[in-house]
Amino acid sequence: MRATRLLFRDKRRHLHLYDLKTQQRTTLLDYCSYVQWVPGSDVVVAQNRSSLCVWYSIDVPDRPTIYPIKGEITEIERAEDRTEVIVDEAGTLMSYALDDALISFGAALDDGNLNMAASTLDGLEPSPEVDAMWSALAQRALAEKQLPIAERCYAALGDIPRARFLRRTHKVAEYAAQQMGGDGTEHYMVKARLATLSKHFTEAEHLYLEANAVDDTIDMYQEMHMFDDALRIAASRHHENLDDMKQSYYEYLLQSHQEDKAAQMKLEEGDYTAAVNLYLKAAMPVRAAAVIRKAGIRPPPDLIERIASSMIKHGTLHPIINIWTYCIIVRDIHM
**pTM, full prediction:** 0.70
For 37-92, give the DSSP string.
EPTTSS-EEEEETTEEEEES-TTSTT--EEEE-SSEEEEEEE-SS-EEEEEEETTE
> What digits encode the pLDDT tens for the residues 89-143?
988 999 999 988 888 888 888 788 999 999 999 988 888 888 988 998 999 999 9
If you average pLDDT over every residue of the chain, what do you get? Answer: 87
Confidence at 298, pLDDT banded by 50, 70, 90: confident
Cα–Cα distance measured from residue 305 to residue 327, given in angstroms and rounded to the nearest whole number: 10
The answer, yes or no, to whether residue 146 has pLDDT greater than 60, is: yes
Cα–Cα distance measured from residue 16 to residue 30, given in angstroms and rounded to the nearest whole number: 9
**CB-based contact 157:139 (threshold 8 Å):** no
- Domain boundaries in the chain? 5-105, 271-335
The answer, yes or no, to whether residue 259 has pLDDT greater than 80, is: yes
Nearest C-alpha neighbor of 65 from the set 104, 34, 95, 103: 103
Confidence at 325, pLDDT banded by 50, 70, 90: very low
* Percentage of residues in the chain having pLDDT higher than 70: 93
Q: Which helix (H) or strand (E) holds 168?
A: helix 160-180
Q: What's the pLDDT score for residue 240?
A: 92
Secondary structure (H, E, C), 94-133: EEEECCHHHHHHHHHHHCCCHHHHHHHHHCCCCCHHHHHH
**CB-based contact 234:205 (threshold 8 Å):** no
Compute the radius of gyration of the chain from its Cα atoms. Answer: 30
Give Cα separations from 43 to 16, 101, 281 (angstroms).
Answer: 15, 12, 59
Nearest C-alpha neighbor of 100 from the set 80, 130, 126: 80
> What digits encode the pLDDT tens for the residues 189-243?
999 999 999 999 999 999 999 999 999 999 999 999 899 999 999 999 999 999 9
